[in-house]
Amino acid sequence: MGKGGKSHEETKSGEDENMAAWLVGLNTLKIQPFKLPPLGPHDARVRMKAVGICGSDVHYLKTMRCADFVVKEPMVIGHECAGIIEEVGSEVKNLVPGDRVALEPGISCWRCDLCKDGRYNLCPEMKFFATPPVHGSLAHQVVHPADLCFKLPDNVSLEEGAMCEPLSVGVHACRRANIGPETNVLVMGAGPIGLVTMMAARAFGAPRIVIVDVDDNRLSVAKNLGADGIVKVSTNMQDVAEEVERICKAMGGGVDVSFDCAGFNKTMSTALSATCAGGRVCLVGMGHHEMTVPLTPAAAREVDVIGIFRYRNTWPLCIEFLRSGKIDVKPLITHRFGFSQKEVEEAFETSAGGGSAIKVMFNL
């Protein structure tokens, strides 16, 4: 099995059983025992209280893979999480049992050049919740490094703590793209990541934000959450030029930075064409593995293209944004479920179905 525990076959009878949601096959999740590893001196044992469903979790369920990561044996799902400290290792000084914490799900090696340079999110040895073969966090309890468990202020709920994970993607994207009070922002895609990117851009000071999607319901949500302009687009590549005109009109000026939170030929082509000379396009979503896009005209206008992978050093800032009220993620949580076999299946069906669902949350 992957790091973080053992399968139910390896669990000795008679022990207190820690239950978890296991991905055991295509479209098959089962709540089964999950034996935790021993608590190391720098670890914490955390009782999970709030776990969100991410698009990647749904992808693993439907296809048993996500990009180059393939599920080859049963794996505990879930990585957006927060809980309460139950026990800490002998060397842990900053946490005590009873503390409410949000968990950063990736454990890097801290030995490679990328880690030493501070870009630990790019560590080739990264062990990340629910990225095979590493087990995830949709369980009653997990063991995790204490330095990746971030204490929540009294006015930030455990559900909001779990939302620090998707919010971190938006915060990291805004840092990479240098968002500030002088950058007008375009967001392609009004799904969960598009919405948190929009919220993060506002918190970073972006004066005007326009968001684009194919779905009226999602655009309406984006408008209610503070988008200055919304533009409905098609999936037809022939419409790009006309849609860019509408985007620029909605912006009322130039687009300084575009975030493509979908990652398709059409969305990236639109972002490259809509961004002003000297601007930046940040590719956040990874819908297509390969794309054909008008890179040459964008390069001739000195439009920089930047990518992001997950996040780094974002939890303290996310927690501060939530504490201060600069960002309110609560409206993004549209559906809640308990932790029974039936509810786990229903929750994933709800998340996969789209519709009115933005963030589906488990309360354990």
Q: Is residue 37 part of a domain?
A: yes
- Residues 293, 221 within the same domain: yes
Write out the residue range of the structural domain in which residue 234 sits: 169-307
- Residues 271, 173 within the same domain: yes
Rounded distance between C-alpha atoms, residue 274 and residue 276, angstroms? 6
Report the CATH number that the domain containing residue 265 is assigned in CATH.
3.40.50.720
- pLDDT on residue 68: 85
- Residues 143, 240 within the same domain: no
Rounded distance between C-alpha atoms, residue 75 and residue 6, angstroms? 10
Q: What is the mean pLDDT of each run of 10 residues along the chain (364 residues)?
A: 45 66 97 97 98 95 91 97 98 98 98 98 97 97 98 98 98 98 98 97 98 96 97 97 98 97 97 98 92 96 98 98 98 97 97 92 98
The two three-digit tokens of residue 125, written as one number: 């040895």
Q: Is residue 57 part of a domain?
A: yes
- Residues 177, 288 within the same domain: yes
Q: Is residue 354 part of a domain?
A: yes
Rounded distance between C-alpha atoms, residue 197 and residue 299, angstroms? 24
Report the CATH number that the domain containing residue 71 is assigned in CATH.
3.90.180.10
Q: Is residue 323 part of a domain?
A: no
Rounded distance between C-alpha atoms, residue 167 and residue 75, angstroms? 25
Q: Is residue 176 part of a domain?
A: yes
- Residues 262, 184 within the same domain: yes
- Residues 204, 277 within the same domain: yes
- pLDDT (tens digit per residue) in 102-156: 999 999 999 999 999 999 999 999 999 999 999 999 999 999 999 999 999 999 9
- pLDDT on residue 289: 86
Rounded distance between C-alpha atoms, residue 142 and residue 253, angstroms? 49
Q: Is residue 8 part of a domain?
A: no
Q: Is residue 267 part of a domain?
A: yes
- pLDDT on residue 355: 85
- pLDDT on residue 287: 87
- Residues 180, 120 within the same domain: no
Q: What is the DSSP letter of 44?
A: E
Q: Do residues 42 and 92 touch, judged by C-beta distance below 8 A? A: yes
Long-range contacts of 253-256 (CB under 8 A, 24+ apart): 253/184, 253/208, 254/184, 254/279, 255/184, 255/185, 255/186, 255/210, 255/279, 256/182, 256/183, 256/184, 256/185, 256/280
Rounded distance between C-alpha atoms, residue 27 and residue 7, angstroms? 19
- Residues 294, 196 within the same domain: yes
Per the structure, how many domains does the chain have?
Answer: 2
Q: Do residues 269 and 293 touch, judged by C-beta distance below 8 A? A: yes
CB burial of residue 253 (10 Å; 0-12, 13-18, 19+): exposed
- Residues 191, 289 within the same domain: yes
Q: Is residue 14 part of a domain?
A: no
- Residues 356, 273 within the same domain: no
Q: Residue 90: how many CB atoms within 10 A of its CB?
A: 9
- pLDDT on residue 1: 31
- Residues 204, 287 within the same domain: yes
- Per DSSP, the three-state class of 275 is strand
Half-sphere exposure of 52 (CA within 13 A, CB side): 28
- Residues 302, 195 within the same domain: yes
